Amino acid sequence: MGKIPAAKKQKPYESLRIQVSKVSELVDMGPKFSKAVSVDHLLSMIVKQTLDVTNTDVCIIWLKDNNGNLIPRISFGLKTKLIRSLKMRFASRMVRCIMKKAQPVTIYNIARSTKFHLKNLILKEKLASLLAAPLVIGQEKIGVIMVMTRTKRHFSEVDVKIFNALSRQAALGIGNVKLYDVADRRVKDKIKEISALFTMSHYASESVDLDLILNVILEKTRMLLKAHSCVLRVLDSSRKRTFTVTSGLTKAGAKALLKFEGELSSRVLRSGFPLVIPDIQSHDKTKASKFIRKCGIHSLVMVPLYSKRRKNGVLSVFMPEVRIFEKETIEMVEMVANLCAMSIDNSAMLERIQKDYLNSIRMLAKIIDANDTYTRGHCEKVMKYSLYICKKMGVPERYTEAVKTASLLHDIGKVGIDLNIIRKKGALTKKDWNKVRLHPDIGARIVSQIGFLNDIVPIIRHHHARYNGGGYPEPRITGDKIPLGARIIAVADAFDAMTSDRPYRKAISRKEAIEELKRCSGRQFDPEIVKLFLN
């Protein structure tokens, strides 16, 4: 619809035609507004429609924010960028004046009005008259809509009524879109939750490192719920000790929070039900430690972990705001707790399987030892010396475990060597040695078939590699390129071999063996390992 001359200049029938046309447009607004896909889209539709129907030059809409301020959300017709500075306090005189009236406010000459305080806007934009109405949904006042002209204009009673009806339609539309936005946000949040849970459970099923799994689950939960921190407290199988995993806390912070959380965890474990505290600081002033106040924790939700119907831990989520937790949020935390419990169960099961498997292999190693009368007990002794070296070197626990397994299995490849050569009482021929030299490779191939023993494959393959590049198998590697475990086992293996009787020679004394290790240090053996072993 184009520009319409002021109503007073129209002939009566023309004026009536225009009014009918405006009312008709008003009737159409509801269905039009319902097609808006977002608040911004709707506001742009409202502004265009309002300027059209009211035949004015400028339209501005303010919406209330969470702090009670009116923020300009959209404007049309302004020549400057003053829109950015048009934030108003809800309690300001002008806003109160617009809000308290049942009918829109009209001002013929804004420049002279004492009610209008946006003087900068009037001067720079050369504005003359205005019409303003509150946007109201039910009892809630959510904003203001204002139209202005650059020439002075007396708004007629019909103009005011139409503007009033238009502001009601606009408020209704905004309310509907906001409801839609809330529903849409909830759906999106739900999708985000499901997606995070899926990622967590995928991670839990893909990885075998329980520490890593629990850390990832807690971190993802903290991010998803925008929590301050998360704490997982798990009772071990004997139920006498606990282990904890935290997210969002420093070491000192975790210590302080665990002290506070301990008693509440016991309460959750006893009851077996979730515990929700909307405001810790007012809930238990004496127990909310300085740390809780300092780091701004306000609310928490704690849920028990169930493993085979037994309570074996508690998952706690600490929030930075006072919060009434929705049922969905508590259910979400319970799902995460279930995932943690499942991961812990799986890890324990895997540990049992690995232990059984290792015992079987240990038995196999003993059988190999038993085949050779002269090397009986050799593997166990190599393991003992290797662990001693690991301890002296400060090797991390995880790698020490790998060295332990590898030392037990280092000669497993001998199952592939002719028993007559293994048990031969005299000196081995060159041909015999060529066959014996195959055992590290055969051993590595056997162990590589067992998934969780993959870490020890290179240790077994290179346990006869010499530090200066000699030894076997091919291709040869030197120095620090030889896996640390292989260099450790090489020293332990040689020391036990020298101090044990062999079919082709007698054992030498420990003193002589030590001298031999020193002599070969830097050539056959890693000098650092020899030094630590002998000290």
- Interface with Fe ion: number of residues (CB under 5 A): 1
Q: Footprint of Fe ion on residues 178-237 (CB under 5 A)?
A: none
Question: What minimum distance in Å lies between the beta carbon of 434 and Fe ion?
Answer: 15
From CA 417, how far away is CA 302, in angstroms rounded?
A: 60
Of 88-96, 403-411, 417-425, 520-528: span binding Fe ion (CB under 5 A) = 403-411
Q: Which is nearer to Fe ion, 323 or 424 (CB)?
A: 424
Whole-number minimum distance, CB 210 to Fe ion, in Å? 33
- Identity of the residue, 222 or 378, whose beta carbon is nearer to Fe ion in the bound complex: 378
Residue 220 or 439 with smaller CB distance to Fe ion? 439
- Minimum CB separation of residue 433 from Fe ion in Å reads 12
Q: Does 261 participate in binding Fe ion (rule CB under 5 A)? A: no
Nearer to Fe ion, 125 or 411 (CB): 411
Give SS3 for 445: helix
Question: Interface with Fe ion by CB under 5 A: which range of 30-38, 132-140, 226-234, 407-415?
Answer: 407-415
Residue 218 or 492: the one with the smaller Cβ distance to Fe ion is: 492
Nearest approach in angstroms of CB 226 to Fe ion is: 57
CB of 195 to Fe ion, least distance (A): 51
- Of 268, 259, 244, 252, the residue nearest 289 (C-alpha): 259
Touching Fe ion, residues 286-325 (CB under 5 A): none
- Closest CB 354 distance from Fe ion, rounded Å: 24
Question: 325-333 long-range contacts, Cβ below 8 Å, gap at least 24?
Answer: 325/276, 325/278, 325/299, 325/301, 328/190, 329/225, 329/301, 330/274, 330/276, 330/301, 330/303, 332/193, 332/197, 332/224, 332/225, 333/221, 333/225, 333/274, 333/301, 333/303
Q: Given candidates 57, 159, 411, 496, which one binds Fe ion under the rule CB under 5 A?
A: 411
Closest CA to 519 of 437, 505, 511: 511
Q: How far is 319 from 323, CA to CA, in rounded Å?
A: 8
Secondary structure class of 433 (helix, strand, coil): helix
Choose between 411 and 496: whose C-beta lies nearer to Fe ion: 411
Please identify the residue of the shown chain whose CB is closest to the bound Fe ion: 411
Contact yes or no for 342/204 (Cβ under 8 A): yes
Identify which of residues 33 and 472 has a Cβ nearer to Fe ion in the complex: 472
* Buried b / exposed e along 130-155 (16+ C-beta atoms within 10 A): bbbbbbbbeeebbbbbbbbbeeebeb
Direct distance between the N- and C-terminal alpha carbons of the chain, in angstroms, rounded to an integer:
98
Question: What is the smallest separation between the CB atom of 401 and Fe ion, expressed in angstroms?
Answer: 20
CB of 439 to Fe ion, least distance (A): 6
- In sequence order, what are the residues at sequence separation of 6 or more whose Cβ sits closer than 8 angstroms to the Cβ of residue 116? 94, 107, 110, 122, 130
Q: Which is nearer to Fe ion, 5 or 470 (CB)?
A: 470
Binding residues (CB under 5 A) for Fe ion: these are 411
